[in-house]
Amino acid sequence: MMEPLSQKLVEETWEETALFDRSLARKEMKMAGKKQPDLLSFVMECSEDLDQQVAELAIYMFLVVYRMFEKGYGKGLKGVTAEELIACYDTNERLMEGLEKAHDKFYERIASVQISTQPYVIKYVVDTLFEAPEEEDPINLTDEDTGLVFLLLKTVIDVLNKRTDR
């Protein structure tokens, strides 16, 4: 099993991507779409029904996460299929629905076990979702928005993690 992406790589990638202007971000997104067309389509489709600000945040976070995997695993990153994405999304959705009903301590335990494959990438996602409403240009995330964006990005992380050369 491959090592998880390091905290240093995760932070460097996040900081670097935060400095992108719109044209560079678009260029990077096009490259991601060429290498992972099903993955980008999945993210775009899942973001369609969200408020524009929330959708833009989800797509931006996808780009950051994708770049983390690109930098960490490079050529070892294989293409993700639509079938893999749907199966993984359904599994994660069931997991999250089950967690909603679980006792808090149990929930924390499952969450820590479930997300341990890429702990620093998940931490980036969680931190970003919780900081978004507190930024200079706050993004109002409902609990439902936060859950949907988390589910979407956890699915992206899980499938990319499965598609790294092992």
Q: Which of 7-11, 45-49, 55-59, 71-75 has the lowest mean pLDDT?
A: 71-75
Mind listing the pLDDT tens digit for each residue in 59-111?
Answer: 999 999 999 999 999 878 889 999 999 999 999 888 877 766 665 655 565 55
Which is higher by pLDDT, 41 or 133? 41
Q: Is the pLDDT of residue 2 over 80?
A: no
Q: Are 165 and 73 in contact (CB under 8 A)?
A: yes
pTM score: 0.88
Q: Is the pLDDT of residue 123 over 90?
A: no
pLDDT score for 3: 83
For residue 81, give the nearest of 111, 124, 41 by alpha carbon. 41
The whole-number pLDDT of residue 107 equals: 52
Q: Which of 112, 117, 110 is nearest to 94 (CA)?
A: 110
Residues counted in the chain: 166
Q: What is the mean pLDDT of residues 32-38?
A: 95
Dihedral of CA atoms 161, 128, 148, 46 in degrees, nearest 10, equals -70
- 2 neighbors 165 (Cβ within 8 angstroms): yes
